Amino acid sequence: MAVPLCLCPFCPRAHRHIDFILLLHPTEIFKPTNTGRLIADVFPSNVYAFCWDRTRASDELLALLKDENRLCLLVFPVRGRPERVPRKLYEHMPKTSKKITCILLDGTWKQASRMFHLSRWLDTVACLQLPTQNVVRAYRLRLSHQENYLSTAEAAALCLEMAQELKNAAVLREYFSVFNMRYKSTSCRV
């Protein structure tokens, strides 16, 4: 962004009880409209980021997925879709003593769908179904043809709400709102 519109002065810091894994599509990493990095800005000690590979995951990512003290949940809308592999589906944030870790597929919706369907190493991970009713989409930089398609930051905020971390969800949404406004202003200043 242009220096006068930089987000840095507005970046809040917060701590939450759940972790996030950002699984980034390779073309998404350097896009200025990427919202996954906003999650890492707000919650730097609770976010792990990995570049997606169709055939294998890094050893560090696999260790997180196999950690017996974690409950990893892949955030992806699977309701009503036939799946090649049956998996556990949560419609509410589960009550558990384990560390909840939400895996967010960070890319366009087409890319995220490919990541979900082509990553055999994710087949054993349960899915978390985000609510679809009364969800307000605020991402204006990349519009989707589907009303229930959310940006990565919006999906993370919904995960936080489902975990009853309402203050943290509000902090992330506010930072996301500033990002939208500032980025839109930058593109108008050409």
* pLDDT tier, 77 (very low <50, low <70, confident <90, very high otherwise): confident
How far is the CA of 24 from the CAs of 18, 31, 177, 179, in angstroms? 19, 11, 22, 19
pLDDT at 6: 63
Rounded to two decimals, the pTM is 0.85
How far is the CA of 134 from the CAs of 44, 65, 167, 181, in angstroms? 29, 31, 19, 23
Give the residue ranges of DSSP H helices in 93-165: 109-118, 152-162
Q: Domain limits of the chain?
A: 15-129+146-188
Q: How many CB atoms lie within 10 A of CB 7?
A: 16
* pLDDT tier, 149 (very low <50, low <70, confident <90, very high otherwise): confident
pLDDT at 65: 96
* pLDDT tier, 5 (very low <50, low <70, confident <90, very high otherwise): low
pLDDT at 10: 63
Per cent of the chain over pLDDT 70 is: 75
What would the pLDDT profile of 63-72 be if each residue is shown by its tens digit? 999 999 999 9
What would the pLDDT profile of 160-178 be if each residue is shown by its tens digit? 999 999 999 999 999 898 8
Phi, psi of 20 (to 5 degrees): -125, 140
User: Per-residue pLDDT for 19 more than 90?
Assistant: yes
pLDDT at 135: 52
* Between 178 and 106, the higher pLDDT residue: 106
* Between 138 and 169, the higher pLDDT residue: 169
Classify domain 15-129+146-188 at the CATH class level.
alpha beta
* DSSP 8-state code for residue 125: S
User: Per-residue pLDDT for 159 more than 60?
Assistant: yes
What would the pLDDT profile of 53-64 be if each residue is shown by its tens digit? 988 899 999 999
* Between 35 and 147, the higher pLDDT residue: 35
* Contact (CB, 8 A) for 146 and 109: yes
pLDDT at 138: 52
